Amino acid sequence: MTERDIAKLFDSFDGEISLSDFSPDELAELAEKLRPRGNIVAAFTYNEPMIGFEYVRDAARAVRARGMKNAVVTNGAVSLDALDEVLPYVDAFNIDLKGFTDKWYRELGGDLSTVKAFIAEAAKRAHVELTTLVVPGGNDSEEEMRALSSWVASVGKSIPLHVTRFFPRRNMLDRAPTDVNLLRRLAGIACENLETVLLGNV
DSSP secondary structure, the chain, as one string: --HHHHHHHHHH--S--------HHHHHHHHHHTGGGT--EEEE-SS-GGGGHHHHHHHHHHHHHTT-EEEEEE---S-HHHHHHHGGG--EEEEE---S-HHHHHHHT--HHHHHHHHHHHHHHSEEEEEEEE-TTTS--HHHHHHHHHHHHHH-TT--EEEEE---BTTB-SSPPPPHHHHHHHHHHHHTT-S-EEEE--
Of 8-17, 38-47, 149-158, the one with minimum mean pLDDT is 8-17
Cα gap 101→71, rounded to integer Å = 27
Give the model's pLDDT for residue 15: 67
Domains and CATH numbers, the chain: 40-200 (3.20.20.70)
Cβ atoms within 10 A of the Cβ of 98, count? Answer: 24
Mean pLDDT for the stretch of residues 74-103: 97
**Mean pLDDT in the chain?**
93
Neighbour tally for 110: CB within 10 Å: 18
Number of CB atoms found within 10 A of residue 80's CB: 14
Write down the pLDDT at residue 4: 62
Q: What is the pLDDT of residues 166-195, one digit of tens each?
A: 999 988 899 999 999 999 999 999 999 999
Res 1: pLDDT: 46
pLDDT exceeds cutoff 70 at 7: no
Q: What mean pLDDT is predicted for residues 3-22? A: 67
From CA 44, how far away is CA 87, in angstroms rounded?
13
Which residues are CB-contacts of 42 (< 8 A; sequence separation ≥ 6)?
Answer: 27, 28, 31, 59, 60, 63, 68, 69, 70, 71
pLDDT of the residue at 11:
64
